[in-house]
Structure 1
Amino acid sequence: MKHYYISMLLALIPLFIHAQNTVSGTITDSENSQTLEQVSVYIPQLEKGTVTDANGTYLLKDLPEGTYKLVVSYLGYETYSISLDINSGANTFNYAMAPSAIEIDEVVLSTPFHKLQRENVMKVEQKSIAELKSNGAITLADGISNIAGVSTVSTGVGIGKPVIRGLSFNRVLVYTQGIRLENQQFGGEHGLGINDAGISSVEVIKGPASLLYGSDALGGVLYLNPESFALSGETSGDVNLNYFTNTLGYGANAGVKTSGEKLKFLARGAYASNADYETGDRTGVTNSRFNEADFKTGLAYQVSRFKTELRYNYNFSKLGIPEEIGVQDNQREPLLPNQEIATHILSSKTNLFFKKSSLEATFGYISNGRKEFEEHHHEEEGEEEEHEEEGPSLDMDLSTFSYNLQYNPQWGSMTTIFGVQGMHQKNENFGEEVLIPNAITNDFGVLATSHVHFNKGDLQFGLRYDLRSINGESSGIEGDEEYIPALDKNFNSFNAAVGYRADLTNNILFRLNLATGFRAPNLSELTSNGHHSGANRVEIGNQDLDSERNYQVDLALEYENQHIEVYANAFYNNVSDYIYLQPTGEFRDDDPIYIFDQQDAKLYGGEFGFHLHPHPLDWLHVESSFDMVFGELDDNTDLPLIPANRWNNTLRVEWNTTKGAKAKSYAFATLQSYFDQNKVATFETSTPGYNLFNMGIGGEIKIFEQSVGFKISGNNLFDKTYISHLSRLKTDGIANIGRNVAFNLSIGL
């Protein structure tokens, strides 16, 4: 046994020995050969990077042998990537960057091969949190609705759920800290549950991503990239302050991070508070107020062939659930009904790098506690009296353990990933009301996907098998109207995907993707039996539901040169056994009863747009995008909650102010046009179109020799009174938010 342990230690020693492999070089301007300072040189898979010094030189140290993607990026220049062979000892790579007015092209992290956006086979939209903030977003859910093809089902301002090409709820999977977010997202009154502080960027995969992520990714994936650690040898901090005029909302977050050669640390805390929002006619929407506290931290250790990181996020939210127009005040403590949501997210990611392969292991644990408080009515002496509930009427805890193991061998121009993914989930009830029963859910999936690079194109394909089991306890007394019978169901599915990306010319890019997906019915759809606050209805599950299955065809064509970008994305999505809510015409305690039913459906549409920055007016940007989606059931009726067609037009100017500023100053004006939505489900009503006008300005200024970033944006400046088709308050005739001016200050420490 002693010799066994000695052998194991000897085998592990190479992982922790300081490798002397380095990459160094000089970055210059291709037009004048001048060296460039502060250029980012980054290896995504290793998560190691640096910036060039005053002489344009850089040095990356302690690298493992192998072939890795190296990305060179700098504001005002075309982003460049190359597969670089890192050999033992000193390696050299010099590069001359080409000027470009196009924004920096970022590495896509939601797909497994770490490609730049334009190199990726799948079309992935990526936006930084800073960009979403510059548009005046109050919450993260509000911000992502500015991405073409993405909308939000909202309950007021504080509660929002992403909609990707007409699909939402459990059909859109959310990833944070590299793990799937499980926080009882089945309900419309359940918000996204993530604060934007400590999130660097958002990526959206439009269409079935079941090959990569399994069940619930049938409609797409919202992938939240956490804040990165500091570069080796650097320490930094910042404070960010926000104020919103409409909700009298204020918020602040502060963070610090420091990194040595091996050990890295970061932490960020945030708090936000908002009163009731006001509509365009200055009516306060009673109980739309909400408060949120958030804390994120991370610790990482990295040597040549080994890196590991541990991240933790705690979020506590207290949200009012608006139901009617009532009390008009600026109080911040939610009235009844309201929710209290506490979420703990713990994740770890470990990588081992070998010469021709790598291994990644990601584990996650999420504890989500949801409490809902309601008014109770009691009859005493023939009169009905209203009493506040001392304890929560609904009290559910959801705990989820997830794992994701991926082995990545490289064979010439082909890179392959073999993966094993799964989760174990437990739902428990502690309140007097039970919407869904105590239950255990287990997922297990295996996958293989490959990427083959050709001279003028890339091919990606893969296959996956998944198995899900759901076991639920009975709840209540058999025969009562709120009784929930026991549940024992199993679902399984094979899924495949193939995609091809080609450079038709130096300026024209073509993508074609075909993929299948599946979604096992969730616990709510199978077992729900109770009243849903905010929706003001009773939802009853159906244990006979089958899995949804779909196939989707995506076609994308893009043209790009130094001064213009044009794109057209079209899709057709066929969904078998689409699950939807259907009113029965009956009532329980004056609330309508809805049941879950299913029927084949189809969705189709696309996104189209252009971005013009004409020479020599490179400071001028004209942007336009149009997105549309149509959804129909097999009986030729329309699907519910399909967003209206939308046309966005933006005029934007940029200029340099402070020398050494991290970003250019900017000003913009945007007109958002939402068209009439007359293609509605049988239990919906049509929604008239409307126009919203927004403006903003931002940049950096010097205050007492301290750089301060600022953003000022005004949304719905003409105070338009309107109702979004995706607002869950539409049935009550309650309008969306009126004029709102957002102020943001960012101070580096």
Structure 2
Amino acid sequence: MKLFIKAMLLLAFTNIYAQNSIKGTVVDANTKQGLVFANLYFPDIDRGTSTDEKGSFSIQNLPSGNYKILVSLLGYETKSVTISIPNTSTIEVSLVPSAIEMEAIIVSTPFHKLQSENVMKVEHETMKHLKATGAVNLSDGISNIAGVESVTTGLSIGKPVIRGLSSNRVLVYAQGVRLENQQFGDEHGLGLSDSGIESVEVIKGPASLLYGSDALGGVLYLNPEKFAQSNTSNTDINGNYFSNTEGYNTNVGYKWSEDNFKLLFRGSLTEHSDYKTTDYRVTNTRFKEQDFKAGLGYQKNNIKTEFRYNLNASKLGIPEEIGEQSLSKTPLLPYQNITNHIFSSKSTVFFNNSRLDINLGYIYNDRKEFEEHHHDEDEDEDEEEHEAEILEPALHMKLKTANYDIKYNLPNLGKFETIVGVQGMNQVNTNYGEEELIPNATTNDIGVLATSHIHFEKVGMQIGARFDNRTINIDSGLSKDFNSFNGALGIKTDIAKNVSARVNLATGFRAPNLSELTSDGSHEGTNRYEIGNENLKSEQNFQTDIAIEYSNEHVEFFVNGFFNSINNYIYLSPNGETIDDDPVFVYLQNDANLYGGEIGLHLHPHPLDWLHLESSFETVTGKQTGGSYLPLIPANSITNILRIEFEKPWLKKGYSFVKLVSTFSQNNISTFETNTPGYNLLSAGFGGSFSLFKNEATFTISGTNLTNKTYINHLSRLKPDGIFNMGSNISIGLTYNL
């Protein structure tokens, strides 16, 4: 293994070639006239430019090699063009008019950067769009993506759910590195701010081939904002107000770029009071969050590298019952103090026909939980001593994770594009508080992979295999070792005119986490005594995923279906005993199956290109072998959106929308859940850009749950206490570019 790593790293310091340039034009495919402000982007080297008033462009200082250029313009189909540098120095790109939105650039999969070319279906949404439709935070926003929901504890704490799987079964990537923040816990959210996140990608289904353990259920991939284009700079100020919580978030960012160096900074502040339902405010759902992001990029000769850093400090209330009715934004006891540091480095070395990608990350998660200490009523306690005692966290854990991801893109061999790589992680968990939820332990991962994309005339095929090893060493002396071999096969083809089909078969795995192996005690907010099981085996799954899409100038239609079979599914179950008045829950294993899918329709009738009708349906069912249902499975739902786009002399990129989300009742419940009634939520909003003091300003106004519906989402952790979800909310946002 060491020889394999050294061989790839050696390539990073050899064969450096000269810089090159390319120029050309972007034209309308029908009229052959040049297109102004068309965007050209090299995703492999993160370089881009725009065309001038004649449709011409020029990019300097390009390394030698084979690259894709993505060419996009609103009102035209996005086009992917492959060029060979220095063999190609001049090109002409023809764009076909289209009413469909510009196609998204996909980062989370290794080969193709346009979804239309991908063998694997990936969902993509910009954070700007999610916030424009009323999302209060990142956790709230991702639940607007088909097949994705969120397990929530109030407004501040949320965990992604992909087709019924969550927690350690869903891997989260931020800044190109895997996020590790004690995500096994019920009360542990993402610990990330949506500030400085440009877009969200979701791989639905096992992605262990690309990402290793914990990607059994899928991947949530968060793309950071891009650097400024070469030789430009930009400053923007953004503010949002939320009527329900009388809360706000505000951030300011600065970007600067020249030919070789790039940098960016962004700082944000968020505060919310308790959210309001029709009848009351939900006590201690208030929270405060401070976030800072910085990036530095450098490119010279055939080497490109970027460093990013994110500091997120959050103080989150943990709601327990309805009590104090207040607009205070300072959390009550119990609450969490979480500090998250993410350091990441992404480097690429380009050769004539290949490249080496080196991604390194270090995540330092400092988690403190404070709770009220109980004393006898007759005890005479000095108030100052009591306050000092509260300042000591009951639970204090530090998780330090170093990870690496090295991939070598081999020279193309005929129809084959091939990537080989090695990934690994070293993780240390240490306790400092009076309570110990999980023990001190060290975890080491290492995995090797190989995957190829095969280009046939009408068929694209992707195959791959991977081997992983995870070792967990616990300070008590217990040592566990887990191995897994996984593979994937995918095919994409056009089965008729305007009709494409994708079939993906993949295996995935997840090694048991520390909580499942070693828990022995109660934890704030769980109301149960958990006992781990050191004999647990790895979960292993096999998923079949089929997607069919139809698209023309008037309509888009898709059907996705999946069947996911999981061996050794780990779950909690009571054993009938009690300890300290809490029921005892133990970890058991059984086989399980999940199945369902999504159906979607997008109507944009030509020539009414400004009118969009969108509708989608999503469903998932989860059962253990024997017939009992799995817990925390989202209810079926239908989303209908009417959207209008318009341009006025004083308003650019104008839009308005009306959205109705119909969530069905959830009656397929586990033994320890109760039925959840269905409900309908109405949302609406509008926005656009205008000129203010000769600079661009963008505003958004949106309302969610406009009828102030009283309801409880099935995935709410407050559901057992009968606490309702948030009532009506009006969001107002303004962004100003200096």
TM (normalized to structure 2)? 0.96
Find the counterpart in structure 1 of residue 115 from structure 2: 117
- Counterpart residue number, 1:665: 654
Cα distance in 2 between the residues matched to 1:10 and 1:684: 55
Residue in structure 1 matched with residue 405 of structure 2 by the alignment? 404
User: Partner residue of 1:209?
Assistant: 207
Q: What stretches of structure 2 of length at least 5 have no aligned partner?
A: 1-8
Distance 1:72 1:10 in 2: 31
Contact 1:366-1:399 at 8 Å conserved across structures:
yes
Residue 174 of structure 1 corresponds to 172
Which SS does the other structure have where 1:59 is aligned? strand
Aligned-residue offset at 1:304: 3.6
Indicate the residue corresponding to 1:607 in structure 2: 598
Cα shift readout 1:558-604 (whole Å, capped 9, x = no counterpart) = 00011210000000000000011112333333333322111000000
- Worse overlay, 64-73 or 594-603: 64-73
List per-residue Cα deviations over 1:607-662 (Å, max 9, x = no partner): 0010001112111100000000000001210000000001000000001235894x
1:705 corresponding residue in structure 2: 694
Quote the residue 1:648 is aligned against.
639
Q: What residue number does 2:24 align with?
A: 25
Task: Output the CA distance in 1 between the equivalents of 2:11 and 2:604.
Answer: 59
Q: Which of 191, 194, 198 is equivalent to 1:193?
A: 191
Q: Give the total of aligned pairs.
A: 725
Q: Is the 8 A contact 1:377 1:385 kept in 2?
A: no
Worse overlay, 387-396 or 128-137: 387-396
Question: Partners in 2 of 1:724 and 1:438 — Cα distance?
Answer: 36
| Equivalences for residues 412-423 of structure 1 within 5 A | 412-423=414-425
In the other structure, the counterpart of 1:511 is 502
* RMSD over aligned Cα atoms: 1.9
For the pair 1:393 / 2:394, whether they are aligned, the reply is yes
Secondary structure at 2:686's aligned position in 1?
Answer: strand
Structure 1 residue runs without a partner (length 5+): 1-7, 475-485
> Which residue of the partner structure matches residue 240 of structure 2?
242
Matched, 1:552 2:543: yes
* 1:535 shift after superposition: 3.0
- 1:18, 1:303 within 8 Å by CA — same for their partners in 2? no
The structural deviation recorded for 1:488 is 0.9
- Aligned residues of 1:44 and 1:114 also touching (Cα < 8 A): no
Cα distance, 1:446–1:328 mapped onto 2, change above 3 Å? same
CA drift at 1:11? 11
Question: How far did 1:54 drift?
Answer: 1.1
Residue of structure 2 equivalent to 1:366: 363
| Alignment partner, residue 440 of structure 2 | 438
Report SS of the residue matched to 1:376: coil
Which aligned pairs between 1:51-70 and structure 2 lie closer than 5 A? Answer: 51-70=50-69
C-alpha displacement at 1:413, in angstroms?
A: 2.5
Alignment correspondent of 2:152: 154
Would the aligned equivalents of 2:651 and 2:689 in 1 still touch at CA under 8 Å? no
Per the alignment, in what secondary structure is the counterpart of residue 93 of structure 1? Answer: strand
Q: Answer whether contact 1:378 1:385 (CA < 8 A) is retained.
A: no
Q: Distance in 2 between matches of 1:206 and 1:146?
A: 14
Q: Is the 8 A contact 2:650 2:691 kept in 1?
A: no
In the TM superposition, what is the alpha-carbon distance from 1:13 to its structure 2 partner? 8.6
1:113-153 deviation per Cα after TM superposition (whole angstroms, max 9, x unaligned): 13301110001000001111111111101100000000000
| 1:131 equivalent in alignment to 2:129 | yes
The structural deviation recorded for 1:412 is: 2.6
In the other structure, the counterpart of 1:688 is 677
Residue 565 of structure 2 aligns with an amino acid whose one-letter code is N
* Residue 734 (structure 1) aligned with residue 732 (structure 2): no
Q: Tell whether the 8 Å contact from 2:99 to 2:606 is kept in structure 1 after alignment.
A: no
Deviation at 1:174, TM superposition (A): 0.2
Q: Distance in 2 between matches of 1:325 and 1:453?
A: 60
Matches of 1:441 and 1:613 in 2, distance apart?
Answer: 51
The 2-side partners of 1:707 and 1:350 are apart by 34
SS of 1:445's partner is strand
Percent identity of equivalent pairs = 57
Q: Shift of the alpha carbon at 1:401?
A: 0.3
1:345 and 2:342 aligned? yes
- Native 8 Å contact 1:282 1:738 kept in 2: no
Structure 1, residues 371-429: CA drift from partner, whole Å, max 9, x if none?
A: 00001112254899996623100000000000011011122321111000000000000
> 1:508, 1:353 → 2: CA distance?
36
Q: 1:460 aligns with which of 462, 477, 489?
A: 462
**Which 10-residue stretch deviates more, 594-603 or 160-169?**
594-603
**Range that drifts further, 584-593 or 34-43:** 584-593
Shift of 1:32: 2.4
Would the aligned equivalents of 1:539 and 1:594 in 2 still touch at CA under 8 Å? yes
Shift of 1:18: 5.2
Asked if structure 1 preserves the Cα contact closer than 8 Å seen for 2:164 and 2:620, the reply is yes
Return the alpha-carbon distance in structure 2 between the equivalents of residues 385 and 459 of structure 1.
72
Secondary structure at 1:524 match in 2: helix
Cα displacement string for residues 439-470 of structure 1 (whole angstroms, at most 9, x for unaligned residues): 00000000000011122221000000000011
**Deviation at 1:708?**
1.1
In the other structure, the counterpart of 1:451 is 453
Query: Would the aligned equivalents of 2:651 and 2:688 in 1 still touch at CA under 8 Å?
Result: no
- 1:677 aligned residue: 666
Gap change, CA 1:625 and 1:400, over 3 Å in 2: same
Counterpart contact for 2:15–2:351, Cα < 8 Å: no
Checking the alignment, whether the CA contact within 8 Å between 1:275 and 1:290 is kept in structure 2 is yes
Take 1:657 and 1:411, find their aligned partners in 2: how far apart are those partners? 52
Contact 1:657–1:700 (CA under 8 A) maintained in structure 2 = no
Q: Secondary structure at the match of 1:686?
A: coil
1:392 partner SS: coil
Matched AA of 2:419: I
Which of 592, 608, 620 does residue 617 from structure 1 map onto?
A: 608
- Could you report, residue by residue, the CA deviation over 1:97-120 in whole angstroms, capped at 9, with x for unpaired residues? 111111111221101113301110
